[in-house]
Amino acid sequence: MLLEVENLTVSYGDILAVRNLSFVLDQGELVSIVGANGAGKTSILNAVMGIEPSKSGKILFNGEDITRLPVHERARRGIRVVPERSRVFPRLSVYENIITGVYRLGKKVAVQTRLEWLYGIFPRLEERSGQLASTLSGGEQQQLAIARALISDPRLLLVDEVSMGLMPKLVDQVFALLRQLNKEFGLTILLVEQNAMASLKISDRGYVMEVGTCAFEGAAADLIEHPKVKEAYLG
Ligand SMILES: Nc1ncnc2c1ncn2[C@@H]1O[C@H](COP(=O)(O)OP(=O)(O)OP(=O)(O)O)[C@@H](O)[C@H]1O
Ligand SMILES: [Mg+2]
């Protein structure tokens, strides 16, 4: 397993955001964690990235216990996050934003080659490479946040609510792109999403969160058909 999370608990003071959650991610998988507002999705990603400490439980990456490692040590091992609302550096150009994602992963990544690969996937970012990030459209900023996370060829991409604020056509495009990165380039992806249908459709497996705990898990195709999941999340 590439990522193993065992009995993870995340809390803010008295608020238990995530309770005894366990899940796994195999190399090459695309897995979704879906759930409503406040279900604990962002807290899970923050705990995996090390932005938020885990109160209890264990996080193993590639067999190594990373539970107490700081963010930069996890980044060095190849974990990257595309944050909620695709935060980019507004006063940096598109190119400069992408370059902030360059971080040595212990393997040699030829930045120029990688940049050309990214520009092939995101031609719009190449056209706008000198433009200030704050002046990009929401959809373009979303692409930029993904490109920045991909520049160093990560081993695990954590994606927080990538569909938020995008019109349906763009949501489809972004999900198609994530699927392509997974299927064609073998990138392991963990998606957290409120948009359960769109994310489960492109996923191998899924976990359905209900206020801090996992209510259902299974093959994405089965979850989409599950009556309870349909009723609660898929409309
Ligand atoms: N820094 C914080 N301080 C206090 N409470 C927090 C903090 N961050 C999150 N919470 C609480 O933890 C719970 C889970 O929040 P989290 O952001 O993980 O949910 P989410 O599933 O990502 O929601 P959304 O879909 O709205 O992004 C919520 O009840 C939230 O109010
Ligand atoms: Mg969130």
pLDDT digits (tens, 9 = 90+) for 136-169: 998 899 899 999 999 999 999 999 998 887 888 8
Q: Which of 14, 15, 33, 86 to mutate to test the pocket of ligand 1 (most atoms within 8 A of CB)?
A: 15
Indicate whether 108 and 140 sit together in one domain.
yes
Indicate whether 160 and 208 sit together in one domain.
yes
Instruction: Report the distance separating Cα 61 and Cα 211, nearest Å.
Output: 25
Within a domain: 73: yes
Indicate whether 15 and 129 sit together in one domain.
no
Q: Is 214 exposed, middle or buried (0-12, 13-18, 19+ CB in 10 A)?
A: buried
Indicate whether 70 and 169 sit together in one domain.
yes
Indicate whether 130 and 186 sit together in one domain.
no
Within a domain: 28: yes
Asked whether 65 and 59 are in contact (CB, 8 A), the reply is: yes
Instruction: Report the distance separating Cα 175 and Cα 177, nearest Å.
Output: 5
143 pocket-lining for ligand 1 (C-beta < 6 Å): no
Within a domain: 84: no
Indicate whether 67 and 100 sit together in one domain.
no
Within a domain: 86: no
Of 126, 153, 180, which residue constitutes the final position of a domain? 153
17 pocket-lining for ligand 1 (C-beta < 6 Å): yes
Indicate whether 72 and 162 sit together in one domain.
yes
Number of the ligand 1 atom closest to the C-alpha atom of 35 = 21
How sure is the predictor about 234, in pLDDT bands with cuts at 50, 70 and 90? low
Q: How many domains does the chain have?
A: 2
Domain with 29, as residue range(s), is: 3-78+155-234
Instruction: Report the distance separating Cα 229 and Cα 226, nearest Å.
Output: 5
Question: Which tokens hold the place of 70?
Answer: 């700081």
Q: Report pTM.
A: 0.94
| Residue 209 or 234, more confident | 209
CATH number at residue 19: 3.40.50.300
